[in-house]
Chain A
């Protein structure tokens, strides 16, 4: 009798479990599909973002150039014939470029036609000639065929980003200029080449002359200052709080504050930098040293939190082993705990640096948004940084700045990817299991 009852109960259990099993499987399938869908959606957005940036920006790495035979006319460059450097330096090279264009395209050009002609090439062409003369005055009197950078308008039309059909609304070149372009194209005297200027130049109002090198150097100087300030401070704070400080209400308060600081909007740090570093300490405005200090404040909480986590991950048995041998607290930390925690601390620091590299708002507050053409030579010189450069270009009216903006975004993203990869590799390489 009891045996029968037991069998019935057992059978019912099996039945109930089997019935629920399908629902469990279904729930699990739903969960997986949801997860997969979220990943696909985020990946889709990422592809969209990167796709837009790359599609808009890759032409920014190219420069349109025109092949023109120029004459290094001694009458224009050096009328007195004594090759004085200051005379060679200040000669009217733009006139020579204009003459060369006129000779090729419109021999009987009037003033208006000549103005149209010179609007097709960048003033960098004249600069290129000046440099050639400065390097070797023997070229004077000779002729040479040079690939001269086109103006931003011609550049846009040739790259297909502005209409090239005659009489279209929104034409940036007039009919005469479009005709000349077609003529050059037919003769194979126009080409797209790698845009060296974009990687070596500073900012410029003329889009075809604008480059990111000034901003890259500015970002580099800022990050050096940030690293030099925030890494030692962050590590020292983390070590003190984790290894030496007594655990009491004060240290709890400090910990809460550090965690809160990590969440403070960065523009607030910018205001603080403006009030303290510029107005009280009178650091040079829009300089990497001021920017770097502000970024250091932003990085500090990240570095401290990552540092403490890395210290916590060092097993207490190592501390005990060292203490048992008679190592002092400082020796325990310096010889054992810190070396073991260092990869984790460095990972946190690199991630903090990556964040600092992408910060814009706090730097606007301390005047790093200024238009600066020169490449900074030291952290005290005024300079731009990459994200601010992007912001500046994005706000410029010239059509040609659109591709520059996207190209600069690609460069910034490249730096960020490299830094994050370094952090991941560091973590992988030194990851330890206890």
Chain B
């Protein structure tokens, strides 16, 4: 596993990224660098394109009918939208956690083991067991589910389900984890646990998180990017954005004048 990540180098970098959904121009000329080993929060009002940007990184937009992407988006210097690049391989490197917890209706064990199984990451059962245990441990879920690994993942509480989804994502050992409003369906206590987890994961993974909650962005991220109407308005250190934004639009959004 990638224990050491040089801070500050650019893991993901977008240049002139445009996305259309049919006639709708969803993202306009986005230039954005996402540094390795940090949590980058994408904020902005509904429909501003922050989720669209997130879904470009692991090409989930491919599944959307009529979506077109132009411009470049590089992961470690190689183009994500290169025809040569296999999307399966990309998604093994870039994991994703969704807005609503979506565990498979299978056992807790099988949920976590699914990724390693389809990618052939474990040579034998013992190794697979180890990956599953490790991932659950890292997701802070092991203590709660150790005795019932064979029970269905859908039987867990909402917060536990979301941490199971995080465990499932990190079982593949990705380099980047994308989180699309991971706490919007959770109660405050479960949210706190997930936020704590995000903070711990930062040491090993580059994390990009879309959030509606500015408090959450302030709590978990080191960098924040503010999107508005499909354009990237401002990006910078989280503290700077929240205390001293350069753009009046950013100022308006974080002080709650619109959103």
Binding site for B on A (CB under 8 A): 247, 315, 317-328, 331, 335-336, 340, 432
Residues from chain B with a CB closer than 8 A to the CB of A318 are 102, 104-105
**Bound CA–CA A335/B60 (angstroms):** 19
Nearest to A336 among chain B residues (CB) is B104
A-B contact count (CB 8 A): 60
Q: Using CB atoms and an 8 Å cutoff, list the residues of chain B in contact with chain A.
A: 58, 60, 63, 65, 87-92, 95-96, 98, 100, 102-105, 114-115, 118-119, 165, 168-169, 172
Chain B residues lying within 8 Å of A247, measured Cβ to Cβ, are 65
Given A320-B60, A321-B165, A331 contacting B104 (CB threshold 8 A): no
Q: How many Å lie between the Cα of A319 and that of B98 in the bound state?
A: 12
A328 to chain B, nearest CB (A): 6
**Residue ID in chain B nearest A328 by CB atoms:** B88
A-B contact pairs, 29 of them (CB 8 A): A317-B98, A317-B100, A319-B63, A320-B98, A320-B102, A321-B98, A321-B102, A321-B104, A321-B165, A321-B168, A322-B104, A322-B114, A323-B63, A324-B58, A324-B169, A325-B92, A325-B114, A325-B115, A325-B172, A326-B87, A326-B88, A326-B89, A326-B90, A326-B91, A326-B119, A326-B172, A328-B88, A331-B118, A335-B118
Closest Cβ neighbor of A314 among chain B residues: B105
Q: What is the CA–CA distance of A319 and B95 in the complex, to the nearest angstrom?
A: 14
- Nearest neighbor of B66 in chain A, beta-carbon distance: A247
User: How long is the Cα–Cα vector from A323 to B92 in the complex, in angstroms?
Assistant: 10
Assembled-state Cα–Cα distance A320/B100 (Å): 11
Most buried by B among A318, A319, A325, A340: A325
Q: How far is the CB of A332 from chain B (nearest CB, A)?
A: 10
- Beyond A320-B98, A321-B104, is A326–B92 a contact (Cβ under 8 Å)? yes
CB distance from B66 to the nearest CB of A (A): 10
Inter-chain CA distance A336–B104, complex, in Å, is 8
Chain A residues, CB < 8 A from B88: 326-328
Q: Which has the most chain A C-beta neighbours within 10 Å: B100, B102, B103? A: B102
SS class, residues of chain A in contact with chain B: helix
> Does A325 contact B63, Cβ atoms closer than 8 Å?
no
Give the distance in Å from the alpha carbon of A323 to the alpha carbon of B91 in the complex.
8
Given A320-B60, A320-B63, A325–B102 Cβ distance below 8 Å? no
Q: How far is the CB of A419 from chain B (nearest CB, A)?
A: 27
Cα distance A422–B249 in the bound complex, in angstroms: 62
Q: Give Cα A355 to B103, complex, Å.
A: 38
Contact of B118 among A317, A321, A327 (CB under 8 A): A327
Alpha-carbon distance A102/B188, docked complex (angstroms)? 98
Q: Among B65, B89, B96, B100, point to the contact of A324 (Cβ < 8 A).
A: B96
* A112 vs chain B, min Cβ distance (A): 79
B105 contacts A340, C-beta separation under 8 Å: yes
Report whether A325 and B118 are in contact in the complex, using a CB–CB cutoff of 8 Å: yes
A319: chain B residues at CB < 8 Å are 63
Partner of B168, one of A325, A335, A340: A325
Q: How far is the CA of A320 from the CA of B99 in the complex (A)?
A: 11
Of chain A, the residue at the smallest CB distance from B111 is: A321
Contacts of B58 in A (CB 8 A): 324
Task: Quote the shortest CB–CB distance from B1 to chain A (angstroms).
Answer: 17
Residue of B nearest to A316 (CB): B63
Supplied contacts A321-B102, A321-B103, A432-B105, 7 more A-B pairs, CB within 8 Å: A321-B168, A322-B104, A324-B98, A326-B89, A326-B118, A335-B114, A340-B105
Hey, which chain A residues are within 8 Å of B63, CB to CB?
A: 319-320, 323
Which partner residue on chain A sits nearest B102 by CB separation? A317
Distance in angstroms between the alpha carbons of A335 and B90 in the assembled complex: 20
Closest chain-A Cβ to B258's Cβ sits at a distance in Å of 30
Query: Cβ of B90: which chain A residues have Cβ within 8 Å of it?
Result: 326
Can you name the residue of chain B whose Cβ is closest to the Cβ of A246? B65
With CB as the reference atom, state the residue of chain B lying closest to A325: B115
Nearest CB on A from B184, distance (A): 14
Q: Which residues of A contact B104 (CB under 8 A)?
A: 318, 321-322, 336
Does B91 contact A325, Cβ atoms closer than 8 Å? Answer: yes
Are A326 and B115 within 8 A (Cβ)? yes
- Tell me, rounded to whole Å, the shortest Cβ–Cβ distance linking B186 to chain A: 15
Cβ-closest chain A residue relative to B119:
A326
Which are the 3 A-B pairs with shortest beta-carbon distances? A326-B91, A324-B96, A317-B102
CB distance from B152 to the nearest CB of A (A): 11
Which chain A residue has the least Cβ–Cβ distance from B92? A326
- Provide the bound-state CA to CA distance between A316 and B102, in Å: 10
A324, B92: Cα distance in complex, Å: 8
A324 lies within 8 A of B118 (CB): no
Complex formed: what's the CA distance from A331 to B88 in Å? 11
Q: Give the most central of A247, A319, A323, A336: most B CB within 10 Å.
A: A323
- State how many angstroms separate the Cβ of A106 from the closest Cβ of chain B: 78
**B100 proximity list for chain A (CB < 8 A):** 317
Docked CA distance A331–B87 (Å): 14
Q: Chain A residues near B168 (CB, 8 Å)? A: 321, 325
Cα A335 to Cα B104 with chains together (Å): 10
Nearest neighbor of A317 in chain B, beta-carbon distance:
B102
List of B residues within 8 angstroms of A325 by Cβ: 91-92, 95, 114-115, 118, 168-169, 172
Kindly list chain A residues whose C-beta atoms are within 8 Å of the C-beta of B98: 317, 320-321, 324
